[in-house]
Structure 1
């Protein structure tokens, strides 16, 4: 099957959507499908359109070429339906899998054009629409998106609920992000350290709330110096100001801001850590939290987000509803390390239900539904070529 994955954002830009789209497309190729990524993210200065990922994944980059018909913000470009149809028809695509967040002009244009032309289409939402629901609803109604013959999905139950509301009750499936839990499982068990290490991995941007987490950790340190150490991993526009705030707190806090680390370094860090913290209340999925849970770490996360799909309160970790409750929960765990050890034993013994084989199977089932909705697999490229 020829599958095109459309995403406004892609590598070399780093983020959850970018990595998940790449991994999904590569694993589908390993199962025998022909997959291509279509994006407006440039590969770099002077890079040609239609470059390929080192792993053998073709990437069509719609940048400064005949399809680039308007300016955009960062990687985002506006695309009229006709231009998108030309690209898809040239690729002779059997199915389109569109990946969108809240602002995804390429994704929306591709979904609208492909669905109208008769190409089986799945639209995956990778972000939480709760805070922008009124705006998204107006946009969706303007384009009559609820009536499109596409299959809608989101990366978690929480994300799906908002999409369902925006689309006035249209069914929305859950297609989670993928992971290989065994790749993250720490090989050797170790007891909770006398001075436990708290860890968090995130982009240093406002919606991930690293500043609130840093201030909660500084408050915990002030209440009990030397009771823990903490490592916050990630890069982003807030990193420099966070480092200044940490430096102003003085030496001896036991808190470190590492900047970005690669996956190998993160695995090593998780192996030496005791508790994972996920402070964002609007986390659509929480892949870093799932990686930590797969490694065996208990997770303390905000309730109401995607983490709740794989962390049950009191079983794989704890779900909290405010910064104050997060701080109080961590303080109570530092007072009772036996609770940390108990959840860690469970997480090591019981693998999470989310894994790549299940994600690939679930994607395949959604593709079948999309094909049934459009009538057949085979007509897509022909219809795209003849659509006006």
Structure 2
């Protein structure tokens, strides 16, 4: 099957959507599908793809109206491009603002290819705005298969689309690539770790203030490492310096996956503070590595973290601080969950994600009265 992944944002821009679209398209290519990516994100430099890499078509860059990675691309031009490349199925990747992906989704109602629309963000805070736009576009009647990356994200999409069925298609991971060797007993000074973009939605400032409060109640009892870059990073560094906490709380900036895995190997508990986390791939990587995860209930992380099994789900910043304090006071609880996480692989893995994606393409084809083409080596 020839699948076009349509996404406004893509590499070299870094983020959860960009990396997951790349990984999904690459896995599908290696599994026998033909895949390509259509995006309005400009390259950092001109370069031809490697022979085993997914082809990328960067469109709308010549005179297209827009800002940043976003460009206006007309439905007719996009439809002709998909037809010229013989696309059998479209996978449109939507976030909070995705004009190209929305245009691709709308093409299904005008005779375009079977289309799956994956929502990668939490629409809870913008549901009224999305609902008005969707009703104006009559999006609930489009012959597309809607999906979201978690149960929490799917509920908001379903609400915005007035009850339209929404499947869950999670982000993929190879748990074995993250699993770490068994460790000695918990260190005398355990390490808390979190990986996120330093932007308001991820709530790094709230996490920092939680850690500073924990430092007051448990002085010298832990260290923390926060990984990631973003506009809030300089302010967070100033706040740490002002509190005299540089020896206890470290901000590393952006790191690649190899460096993050190395940090996870020396950490004891992973913390995911955002209640509006649509999936939480960094938390899943940490859970796959064997770390207990403390996350917000109601976020996408709850799809793979059971309370008291793979970690703990909390409902507020106060409960987050209290739970971390309890784990510092009773380190055996975290060690027990870590043993479980190392012994039992998470339910989310690439094999199940790829099977689910194929089923969604078939369902999208059925909406149009077509039969989805098989894989080349099926």
What is the CA–CA distance in structure 2 between the aligned matches of 1:272 and 1:207, rounded to whole Å?
27
Moved more, 218-227 or 249-258: 249-258
- 1:58 is the counterpart of 2:55: yes
Residue 93 (structure 1) shift: 0.3
The answer as to whether partners of 2:182 and 2:342 remain within 8 angstroms in 1 is no
What is the CA–CA distance in structure 2 between the aligned matches of 1:20 and 1:328, rounded to whole Å?
33
The answer as to whether partners of 2:173 and 2:348 remain within 8 angstroms in 1 is yes
Residue 377 (structure 1) shift: 4.6
Unaligned runs of 5+ in 2: 374-378
**Secondary structure of the structure 2 residue equivalent to 1:325:** helix
Residue 251 (structure 1) shift: 4.8
What is the CA–CA distance in structure 2 between the aligned matches of 1:378 and 1:255, rounded to whole Å?
52
Residue of structure 2 in register with 1:33 after alignment: 33
Give the alignment partner of residue 236 of structure 1, picking from 226, 230, 244.
230
Residue 69 (structure 1) shift: 3.5
Residue of structure 2 in register with 1:23 after alignment: 23
Q: Deviations over 1:104-147 (max 9, x none)?
A: 00000111023422410000000000000000000000000000
Residue of structure 1 in register with 2:257 after alignment: 263
Unaligned runs of 5+ in 1: 380-388
Q: Deviations over 1:154-198 (max 9, x none)?
A: 000000000001111111000000000011111233211111100
What is the CA–CA distance in structure 2 between the aligned matches of 1:305 and 1:286, rounded to whole Å?
8
What is the CA–CA distance in structure 2 between the aligned matches of 1:251 and 1:126, rounded to whole Å?
35
**Secondary structure of the structure 2 residue equivalent to 1:257:** strand
Matches within 5 A, 1:128-207: 128-207=122-201
The answer as to whether partners of 2:272 and 2:295 remain within 8 angstroms in 1 is yes
Q: 1:323 to 1:251 in 2, by over 3 A?
A: closer
Residue 8 (structure 1) shift: 0.3
Residue of structure 1 in register with 2:376 after alignment: none
Residue 7 (structure 1) shift: 0.3
Residue of structure 2 in register with 1:385 after alignment: none
Residue 255 (structure 1) shift: 0.6
Give the alignment partner of residue 329 of structure 2, picking from 310, 324, 335.
335
Q: 1:53 to 1:304 in 2, by over 3 A?
A: farther
The answer as to whether partners of 1:232 and 1:257 remain within 8 angstroms in 2 is yes
What is the CA–CA distance in structure 2 between the aligned matches of 1:182 and 1:378, rounded to whole Å?
31
Q: Deviations over 1:222-269 (max 9, x none)?
A: 222110000000011111111111111115641100001111111111
Residue of structure 2 in register with 1:382 after alignment: none
Give the alignment partner of residue 293 of structure 2, picking from 293, 296, 299.
299
Q: 1:230 to 1:157 in 2, by over 3 A?
A: same
Residue of structure 1 in register with 2:8 after alignment: 8
What is the CA–CA distance in structure 1 between the aligned matches of 2:16 and 2:193, rounded to whole Å?
19
Residue 41 (structure 1) shift: 0.3
Q: What is the TM-score normalised by the length of structure 2?
A: 0.96
Residue of structure 2 in register with 1:324 after alignment: 318
What is the CA–CA distance in structure 1 between the aligned matches of 2:312 and 2:23, rounded to whole Å?
29
Residue 53 (structure 1) shift: 6.0
What is the CA–CA distance in structure 2 between the aligned matches of 1:227 and 1:168, rounded to whole Å?
49
Q: 1:54 to 1:298 in 2, by over 3 A?
A: farther
How many residue pairs get aligned? The number is 373
Matches within 5 A, 1:84-123: 84-123=78-117
